[in-house]
Amino acid sequence: MTTLSLTVPSSCPPLPRVIQGGMGMAVSSWHLASAVAHAGQLGLVSGTALDLVLARRLQNGDRDGAVRRALAAFPVPRFAQRVISRYFRPEGRSEGQPYAPVPRLALRQTRLAQELMVLGSFVEVWLAKEGHDGRVGINFLEKIQMAAPAAAYGSMLAGADYVVTGAGIPRDVPHLLDQLAEHERVEFPVTVVGGSNHTVDFDPESLLGESLPAVPRPTFLAIVSAHALAEHLVREDRTRPDGFVVEGPPAGGHNAPPRGRLTLDEVGQPVFGPRDQADVSKVAALGLPFWIAGAQGTPEALVAAREAGAAGVQVGTLFALATESGLDPALRDDVLNRLRDGTLDVRTEALTSPTGFPFKVAQLPGTLADAGLTAARPRLCDLGYLRTPVQKDDGKVAYRCPAEPVHMYERKGGAVADTVGRSCLCNSLAANVGLGQTRADGYVEPPLVTLGVDVANASRLAERHEGSWSARDALDWLLGDEPAGGVTDLTAGPAVIGS
């Protein structure tokens, strides 16, 4: 095998005060992460379904050439060329033409599936890092375990500075990053209902056909909603992260469910109480850097977080509405108009997500927030990123999703009650960023927009800008009199609460 050289950065700047959160499927686009990183803070790209994003951008013709420019930088050119040959359409898709499929996630993965996952993450991180020396990371959902090895590896080949993981307990990610930095063969544990000792196997050298030198291991941040989880993760070297994002219930996207018995309010939202707020002082006492998330998008919240010992805050909604985000411009304009006239409503839906986690939904017409559109949508699961592997009585593994046809879910041992109210997030999140499927019968997948509930905070920024705002505008407001590139060095540990 041929040994290739990789050029990697050696500097390690201080910690950011603002982390731009990982959002949706390509809402936290490379454009957005690049803008934030260029301004001196931490820009995160969304790591969800980047294999699909890559394939669909290529099928749309890659009009600006950015995807192919990034693929040309991949350290094994022939590896990237196979995906270009399969998916790139120079003239783009014709009107009404469906996208060609990508392989669905599984425990036993095809070569094409792993190629797409590696290259999808590589492209997004590489483009986000292009042209500056700022810090870029990638955000993964722990729920999507079967994609973790290949997707993380692709991001590391592109020089990802941070990996951030939430929506579950990411106990196995630190060790995974250790292994991938040395290009070791990985057997990554996957939770299988009714089974045990299942893994996704990933062998970088066998897949690439090349032997590469070690790459830098990214800093790993675990997203936690409870101080007890943070305390649990730091107990062993294998599970210990390099820091935490402490996320509260107001954050957009998926949230941890309320502790204790589920109680709903008058419109069906889960009721959160004091038990659902992490004790920040106990997280600070662990001695690792941490950031606070969930309704933290104001200058005052940043000051308060730092006074509590945090390195800073993670912010989503302000950046989801920035001009550089991947959110479809028509959807963004609708949200901004409603934000300004006071009619924007964001609800915490208890049943919408197939994951079982509460999910924030912006109540926008023309999206799956409309019960009529949801009822009219053909019930199917053809992307499958949120499918759960299930071991059957004969030992074989099946994959089920509460948003798939009810009879199929029931046939795989699922309870019919679990299917009530579920929406297909995979297809709708793709539609949010202009990559929604057009089916052979003419049906076009509708979007479903998620935002944080801190719309009043976003309204304050909207008052400063007549139209939309940029990522830099959001940072300038959050940081106040500090330059957008301001960073803080917390290598000596967090401040003591109440000192």
Question: How many angstroms separate the CA atoms of 141 and 426, rounded?
Answer: 13
Q: Which residues contact 77 (CB under 8 A, 6 or more apart)?
A: none
Beta strands in 21-152 (DSSP E): 42-46, 136-141
Specify whether the CB–CB gap between 141 and 170 falls below 8 A: no
Question: How many angstroms separate the CA atoms of 118 and 394, rounded?
Answer: 33
Question: In 3D, which of 378, 284, 340 has the Cα closest to residue 455?
Answer: 340
* pLDDT recorded at residue 12: 54
pLDDT along the chain (499 residues), means of 10: 40 84 95 98 98 98 98 94 96 94 96 97 98 97 96 98 93 97 97 94 95 94 94 95 93 83 83 86 96 95 96 96 97 95 93 91 95 92 95 94 96 95 95 95 94 88 92 96 43 28
- Identify the H or E element spanning 302: helix 299-307
Provide the 3-class DSSP secondary structure of residue 185: coil
Question: How many angstroms separate the CA atoms of 19 and 36, rounded?
Answer: 8
Q: Whats the size of the chain, residue-wise?
A: 499
pTM above 0.85? yes
Provide the 3-class DSSP secondary structure of residue 39: coil
Question: In 3D, which of 52, 55, 63, 144 has the Cα closest to residue 430?
Answer: 52
* pLDDT recorded at residue 263: 85
DSSP H helix total and E strand total for the chain: 18, 16
Specify whether the CB–CB gap between 206 and 114 falls below 8 A: no
* pLDDT recorded at residue 251: 86
Q: Which residue has the tokens 């924007």?
A: 344
Question: How many angstroms separate the CA atoms of 241 and 223, rounded?
Answer: 10
Strand partners, 398: 390
CA angle 357, 195, 403 (to 5 degrees): 35
CA 314 from chain center: how many Å?
Answer: 13
* pLDDT recorded at residue 481: 53
Question: How many angstroms separate the CA atoms of 204 and 227, rounded?
Answer: 35
